[in-house]
Amino acid sequence: MSKANVLEWSIEKLSKSIKNKEISPVEVTQATLDLIDKDETNSFITVMEEDALQNAKQAEKDILKGNYKGPLHGISIGIKDLIHIAGYKTTFGSETYKDFVPEIDAEVIRRLKESGAIIVGKLNMHNFAYGTTGDRSYYGPVKNPHNLQKIAGASSSGSGAAVASYQCFGSVGSDTGGSVRMPASMCGIVGMKPTFGRVSKNGSLPLCWTLDHLGPMTRNVIDNALMLNVLSGFDSKDPYSINVIKEDFTESIDADIKGKKIGIPTNFYFDILDPAVEKIFNICIDNLRHLGAEIIPIEIPGMDDLLIAQQIITVAESFTSMEKHLIKHPEMIEEEVRSRVIPGLNIQASEYIKMLQVRNKTIDLHNQLFEKIDVIMTPTLATLPTDIEQRDVEINGSKEHVRIFAKLTGPSNTTGAPAISVPGGTSESGLPVGIQFIGKHLDESNLYRIAYALEQTGVYQSELSASVRV
């Protein structure tokens, strides 16, 4: 078997070769580290070279002895730098945490290590995970691998850029208002925000306790499902963790979608939309219709109220999580982030409680909607990636702040529903456009099935190429 371009292989393909002893995890890990060393995207904060190579050697020994642990065994994975890895800095992309070294692994790290995955390093991110662009990190901006002048999306910016540029085969990001799906869309990869509580947050630094999710980021849909198989599961140490039957998310992932009911919103999601995004979105609708899916226009109730609730909950909880840092060392929090958090000081408890009630009401309304449809389909983002440091963007003659990137992703954080971004196509300017599917709670398998069907239509082909050969 030719090993050329091995860094461009899928997890699914590479894992089979590793299992069959056709390729060594040590070779792959070394090639990964060599490429990281040449990185132009500023994706990594900490590279765990010594540990990665040592673990790759151990993986090779285990596999040669017949102790194969599963599809992630020997696979290089990157971790967003708000997730604890014992003995390594967890910086939150900030000066505040630049010297913080946890002593215990996060639950998702424990699961990855148990699966035999090779963790190659900690990934750059927007300061305190509070932003949509990824260019406000203490360690410098993350650059989009499709155009180094453009943002990679946030806050899991390094997680998106590293996967897209072949510096790891998958990554774990966090998503509070779209922070997995925004960089997935901008970098042309797949990003899943699972149902709230599906993946443990134990051992990750919080921004907003009731909105934060952890989720996998990969280059294709099957790889994403393989990662979620490992990451998901009940954890008694996470108060928000849900105890449900363990699933194999790859089961029936390639099944026919004929007759699946896909809801296209008639309100909120298309109020402001770049024509380049709309063009690709419409092509994707046609492709799914051609596969036999039923396209149904739907009106989603309560969206304006949900948007307000999301904003107030985010500000209130982020202020609470950052309060001690605001009091002790406000100058160490990036200015733009600080200005967004401080208004939380003035939010009354009664107002916060009312917004939680709005959230619960909206969840009920969404559940009623899912009795008539299987998934909701929207663009992931309203427009294409902007320039680094750019803060305003014009869409159809309307001037918008870059916070608009979170408008279409944020609602599912507030409801806790699973949502996935999958590449839908490439704009004429060469920038990726993501398509978002939103499902009912605990229906990730259905999202993967429809996302996989869209992926197989071949509307998206990455032009990036790994420069390191094995």
Residue 458 pLDDT grade (very low, low, confident, very high; cuts 50, 70, 90): confident
Q: Which helix (H) or strand (E) is 11 found in, with range?
A: helix 11-19
23: in domain: yes
Catalytic residues: 80, 155, 179
Residues 335 and 94 sit within 8 Å (Cβ to Cβ): no
Q: What is the dihedral of CA 362, 363, 369, 370, to 10 degrees?
A: 160
- What's the pLDDT tens digit per position in 48-74? 999 999 999 999 999 999 999 999 999
- What's the pLDDT tens digit per position in 355-388? 999 999 999 999 999 999 999 999 999 999 999 9
Please count the other Cβ atoms lying within 10 Å of the Cβ belonging to residue 395. 16
> Where in 83-178 does DSSP place strands (E)?
118-123, 143-144, 147-151, 170-175
49: in domain: yes
- What's the pLDDT tens digit per position in 286-327? 999 999 999 999 999 999 999 999 999 999 999 999 999 999
Q: Which helix (H) or strand (E) is 296 found in, with range?
A: strand 294-298
Residue 321 belongs to what domain range?
A: 6-455
State the Cα–Cα distance between residues 18 and 7, nearest whole angstrom: 13
Residue 450 pLDDT grade (very low, low, confident, very high; cuts 50, 70, 90): very high
Please give the tally of structural domains in the chain: 1
108: in domain: yes
What is the DSSP secondary structure assignment for residue 194, as one 8-state letter?
Answer: P
216: in domain: yes
Here the CATH number for the domain that contains residue 410 is: 3.90.1300.10
- The strand pair at 261-265 and 294-298 is best described as parallel
467: in domain: no
Q: Which helix (H) or strand (E) is 191 found in, with range?
A: strand 190-193
Percentages helix, strand, coil for the chain (3-state, rounded to 5) are 40, 20, 45
> What's the pLDDT score for residue 377?
98
State the Cα–Cα distance between residues 448 and 442, nearest whole angstrom: 12
Asked whether the predicted pLDDT for residue 469 surpasses 60, the reply is no
54: in domain: yes
Gyration radius of the chain's alpha carbons: 21
470: in domain: no
193: in domain: yes
Asked whether the predicted pLDDT for residue 460 surpasses 60, the reply is no
Q: Please, which residues have CB within 8 angstroms of residue 359's CB and are 6 or more apart in sequence? A: 306, 309, 313, 414, 415
